[in-house]
Amino acid sequence: MNDDFFMLQALQEAQKALAEEEIPIGAVVVFENRIIGRGYNQTERLRDVTAHAEMLALSSAANHVGNKYLSDCTLYVTIEPCVMCAGASYWAQLGQVVFGADEPKVGFRRFGQLLHPRTRLRSGVRAEECAGLMRDFFNLKRK
């Protein structure tokens, strides 16, 4: 399995958010080629500003492995994480973060290096699909 496959899984999570009229962002956490955590945005449903896809996926993964540190794991997320989610990945000491599309307004890279020094970063995986989902969502909201 590869980055494309796991990003497709994150996109499926984003579709769940879309179905619930949430901002369509999805995430999965992978350890040894297995998904151990999943999440999609649920801030409206849970009335919780911290219920981002990444936060839910990280919590799920930590519960799965029984450890708050996820240094051998990779987070796949459809959109560049925000500062809060980048901070959570820092504290989890993630091995790698892979995201689909850039988030120029609130993405963490706007604010400097927020990931753990050992965390590798990749971007652009299935970027057009990830960006398209967001674009379509906000176009519908504006109508």
Which residues face 120 on adjacent strands? 96
Beta bridge partners of 98: 76, 122
Phi, psi of 9 (to 5 degrees): -65, -40
Asked if residue 85 belongs to a known ligand binding site, the reply is: yes
SS (H, E, C) 45-72: HHCCCCCCHHHHHHHHHHHHHCCCCCCC
CA distance 28 to 12: 10
> Does 130 count as an annotated binding residue?
no
Known catalytic membership, residue 54: yes
Burial of 131 (0-12, 13-18, 19+ CB in 10 A): middle
- Catalytic one among 54, 80, 103, 129? 54
Question: Is residue 52 a known part of a binding site?
Answer: yes
Distance of CA 115 to the CA centre of its chain: 14
Instruction: Find residue 26's DSSP bridge partners.
Output: 40
Binding-site residue numbers are: 52, 82, 85
Give catalytic residue positions: 54
Binding-site residue numbers for Zn(2+) are: 52, 82, 85
